Amino acid sequence: MRVPRPITVHGIRAPRGRLMNDALRAALSTVIDPELRRPITELGMVTDAELDGTTARIGIRLTIEGCPLKNTIQDDVREAVRSVDGVESVEIDLGYMDAEARNRLRDQLGHTKTNPFADPANLTQVYAIVSGKGGVGKSTVTANIAASLATEGLSVGIVDADVHGFSIPGLLNITQPPTKLEDMILPPVVEVPASRRVAAGRDDVPGSIRVISIGMFLEDNRPIAWRGPMLHRALEQFLTDVHFGDLDVLLLDLPPGTGDIAISMSQLVPNAGLVVVTTPQPAAVNVAERAGTMSLQTGQKVVGVVENMAAMVMPDGTRMEMFGSGGGAMLSERLGQALDTETPLLGSVPLDSALREGGDTGVPVVWSAPDSPSARALSDVADGIRKQKRGLSGRRLPLDLS
């Protein structure tokens, strides 16, 4: 029987110095690491790619042992390699990077262990979603703004630093823990569902959401009793140790109120704009106003107000104002006067069972029921945020004044 000869190999060397098969390597370059969002061939993860008869032998080196995405990467590798002419079976030799390789990778990613968002030249738009009191829907609004922006093809990050009510992982159905790569943390990534990407005409530019949450670092569901300095350190670590890559937008979900973490945030991310969430109730507006006017002390900008849990339109056309009405407009006006700047009402999100269900199932309503009244209002809020111009405060301007 004639044994097929291995296909000729050209040029490219694997990390161990072996020559790789061009066609297999080209196929492998379409496999994207789910966390790092780059082709595995660029990340030093492919150690071998040989065609032995009709069997493709692929060497893969994962970043860490117990990598939570091991199966996904192997499946993607198999699928990509099977598409190459002449391949009938795929054998994967799985290994792991040593500390040196991981450090090289960290350097290649440009992770500097500094807080990139404090750099005035950083181009990421940063917004803190704040509220005067708990339970007004701040986290739900955050998750949906992120989902809506990602649907438009943006790369979005969320820092969930709401120590007392961290809920972002549940709202986005994230069960995968972050990956630790030496002193760098890779956050789990949530992809926009294919159907939503296609509907938004963004199939070619897939957006994503990278999430880090205080809840990912706690055992069990124990309550956290942290004092200010610990909260400060946690937020600082999220901003320095987590590798978010190049983000278009970073959203910070902070505990409600005007406590220590709000002050820490203003020190760690001075350029962050504030989005103040309130319900339509006058009592909620008073406390939300205090959260907004904190910006007078911190020097941050309030970019707008979101009214949540607004009137629900019933099947007979009547409006059910469970929490009253007018709070959003009132807060927008009061903050505008107090801060002497425009603080628009970015949207009024009605009470909607589709929104609550989306939160319970981990699929934001802008994805699960995009035509529902709450999803439409939340998409408008995201549009309003997207149109914000990044503040020039603290940024270097291209002027030569010498």
Residues facing residue 305 across a β-bridge: 276, 345
Instruction: Enumerate residues 304-323 that contact ligand ATP by CB under 6 A.
Output: 308-309
Residues facing residue 236 across a β-bridge: none
Query: Among residues 374, 375, 379, 385, which is the contact residue for ligand ATP, using CB under 6 A?
Result: 374
Per CB under 6 A, 151 contacts ligand ATP: no
Q: Which listed range, 54-62, 263-271, 282-290, 347-355, lies at the site for ligand ATP (CB under 6 A)?
A: 347-355
Amino acid at 274: L
- Taking a C-beta distance cutoff of 8 angstroms, is the pair 243, 100 a contact? no
- Half-sphere exposure of residue 251: CA atoms within 13 angstroms, side-chain side: 31
Gap between the Cα atoms of 279 and 292, Å rounded: 14
Residues facing residue 307 across a β-bridge: 278, 348
Q: Shortest gap between Cβ of 145 and ligand ATP (angstroms)? A: 12
DSSP state letter for 372: S
Q: Which is nearer to ligand ATP, 154 or 310 (CB)?
A: 310
Q: Which listed range, 36-44, 128-136, 148-156, 263-271, lies at the site for ligand ATP (CB under 6 A)?
A: 128-136
State the CB neighbour count (10 A cutoff) for residue 298: 16
Contact characters 194-233, ligand ATP, x per CB under 6 A: ----------------------------------------
* Closest residue to ligand ATP, based on beta-carbon distance: 165
Query: Among residues 21, 41, 47, 131, which is the contact residue for ligand ATP, using CB under 6 A?
Result: 131
Query: Among residues 137, 178, 207, 280, which is the contact residue for ligand ATP, using CB under 6 A?
Result: 137
Gap between the Cα atoms of 122 and 315, Å rounded: 48
φ/ψ of 4, rounded to 5, equals -60, 140
* Helix (H), strand (E) at residue 28: helix 22-28
Q: Which listed range, 52-60, 95-103, 264-272, 348-356, lies at the site for ligand ATP (CB under 6 A)?
A: 348-356
Contact characters 42-81, ligand ATP, x per CB under 6 A: ----------------------------------------
Residues facing residue 157 across a β-bridge: 210, 250
Per CB under 6 A, 268 contacts ligand ATP: no
What is the rounded radius of gyration, in angstroms, for the C-alpha atoms of the chain?
Answer: 24
Per CB under 6 A, 281 contacts ligand ATP: no
Q: Which is nearer to ligand ATP, 281 or 308 (CB)?
A: 308
Per CB under 6 A, 167 contacts ligand ATP: yes
Is residue 139 annotated as involved in ligand binding?
Answer: yes
Per CB under 6 A, 356 contacts ligand ATP: yes
* DSSP state string for 188-243: PEEEPPHHHHHHTT-SSS--EEEEEEGGGG-STT------HHHHHHHHHHHHHHB-
Per CB under 6 A, 352 contacts ligand ATP: yes
Q: Which two tokens stand for residue 147?
A: 């989902």
Q: Shortest gap between Cβ of 357 and ligand ATP (angstroms)? A: 8
Is residue 228 annotated as involved in ligand binding?
Answer: no
Per CB under 6 A, 376 contacts ligand ATP: no
- Taking a C-beta distance cutoff of 8 angstroms, is the pair 130, 302 a contact? no
Question: Which residue in this structure is represented by tokens 């079976």?
Answer: 89
- Sorted by sequence, the CB contacts under 8 Å of residue 334 that are 6+ apart come out as 285, 289
Query: Among residues 34, 86, 165, 170, which is the contact residue for ligand ATP, using CB under 6 A?
Result: 165
Is residue 215 annotated as involved in ligand binding?
Answer: no
Q: Shortest gap between Cβ of 370 and ligand ATP (angstroms)? A: 15
Is residue 70 annotated as involved in ligand binding?
Answer: no
Question: Which residue in this structure is represented by tokens 């009547």?
Answer: 318
Q: Which residues bind ligand ATP (CB under 6 A)?
A: 131, 134-140, 162, 165, 167, 256, 308-309, 349, 351-352, 355-356, 359, 374
